[in-house]
Amino acid sequence: MTTPTQRITQLASHLDPRTWSGKGLAAVSTKNDSDVVVVALGRTPQCKAGKGGLKDTPFDVLVHQTLKGVLGRVPQLDPALIQDVVVGNVRNENAAYYVRAAALAAGIPRECPSLVVNRFCSSGLMAIRTVANQIQSGEISCGLAAGVEHMSSHAKSAPHIHDDLAKASQEAKDCELPMGATSEFVSQDFNVSRADQDAYAARSHQRASAAQKAGYFDEEIFPVQAHVKEGDATSYKVLTQDDGIRHDTTAEKLAKIRPAFPEYAKEGGEAATTGGNASQLTDGGAAMILMTRRMANELQLPIVAKYVATAVAGLAPRIMGIGPSIAIPKLLDLTGVKKEEVDEFVVNEAFSSMAVYVQRQLGIPDEKYNTTGGSCALGHPLGATALRLVVQGLNNMKRTGGKVVVISMCVGTGQGAAGLFISEQ
């Protein structure tokens, strides 16, 4: 006879996606009707905040065009089948209002709700996880996950932790540290030199430049009709390319740039983080449509990839940049996938200091690490970046024939996140 405890365990196992197929690459690669799969994805061009091609495009318009862009990838899908729209965004004011309006304007019926999620730079991945978790629990069968950030319109403000919290915990106070300061602490604590950071950033630009010139990004980008303001007049321009890549970047040129956070240099030393070896402030969006494999097959939709799992970790806020070095092993342990079985690690380059450290700490070879450049070159639109990493990684898999993609990012206030996808293209 089954005891109540055994019955609860059995029921819980049905709700745990890890038990559907088991652990290990062979297990997570199996195809089941209940799988969460990606049927469409894409991104806008990533444009320099304040001076790039999207600076005059309002946030709600950018959200609208992002949603329309991904819906356009599967015109045979009736928008009425989408049961939730979840958008990652970090700092755009009144985002929840604008996301709801953008979804309605994109043709998604009013019966479909919307949600804005914010876990800093992982917000795009949290949007994916939110939709995937709803599908896995049976709450919905199809949802749209997106990430959009218009940094050109961010308010120029910094957080201030109340003295009551700061006195209670140094780590609480550290949550208000400028991100550049945390980069300096990673550089100092883990011996990542200025030369290493400049060399890494140069490689990011060079790889992104080569990828753009070869047309590798063309398939992942959907065109955006950008607003262009001249005085009181507004005109429109179609954008199809990222505009932050510096095609002539070299480590030697980057070495001439002054440190951006000299006040955080180690006593007797020099600061290492510069505007050249850190990610750019950026406007942009990315999105995907997820559903059960059963639904995708019934609708005869092409399956791009299987979503497997997400892992999130916490760490000391002052060295938040090393978050991927904790989140990635946690993800691999969760799924049972071995590091050597991953075809590419697409890691957000918030700063070169953390990107260098993560690659070293995890022993990831160059040929499996940000192979088409990263945020140093393409930029870092906070709420959108994590989802852009997925788009970029799966596009790389389609081109190379690879299968296993891990994406990861550090997260403000001392966190890290990572996600695993199996390409089926």
pLDDT of 19: 44
- Alpha-carbon Rg for the chain, nearest whole angstrom, is 21
Joined together, the tokens standing for residue 29 give: 């690669």
Half-sphere exposure of 194 (CA within 13 A, CB side): 21
E strand spans, 231-267: 233-239
- Could you tell me which of 59, 61, 65, 56 has the C-alpha nearest to residue 233? 56
Provide the greatest CA pair distance for the chain.
Answer: 78
Task: Count CB neighbours of 65 within 10 A.
Answer: 23
- The amino acid that residue 112 corresponds to is C
Task: Count CB neighbours of 63 within 10 A.
Answer: 32
**Per-residue model confidence as pLDDT tens for the chain (425 residues):** 556 555 555 445 444 544 446 899 999 999 999 999 999 999 999 999 999 999 999 999 999 999 999 999 999 999 999 999 999 999 999 999 999 999 999 999 999 999 999 999 999 999 999 999 999 999 999 999 999 999 999 988 889 999 999 999 999 999 999 999 999 999 999 999 999 999 999 999 999 999 999 999 999 999 999 999 999 999 999 999 999 999 999 999 999 999 999 999 999 999 999 999 999 999 999 999 999 999 999 999 999 999 999 999 999 999 999 999 999 999 999 999 999 999 999 999 999 999 999 999 999 999 999 999 999 999 999 999 999 999 999 999 999 999 999 999 999 999 999 999 999 99
pLDDT of 4: 58
> What whole-number distance in Å separates Cα of residue 16 and Cα of residue 50?
44
Q: Which residues are tagged catalytic?
A: 121, 380, 410
Task: Count CB neighbours of 33 within 10 A.
Answer: 11
> What whole-number distance in Å separates Cα of residue 254 and Cα of residue 125?
31
pLDDT of 21: 61
Backbone angles phi, psi at 417, to 5 degrees: -145, 155
3-state helix, strand, coil in the chain (%, to 5): 40, 20, 35
pLDDT of 416: 99
| pTM given for the model | 0.95
Q: Which residue is listed with tokens 């160059």?
A: 366
SS3 of residue 414 by DSSP:
coil
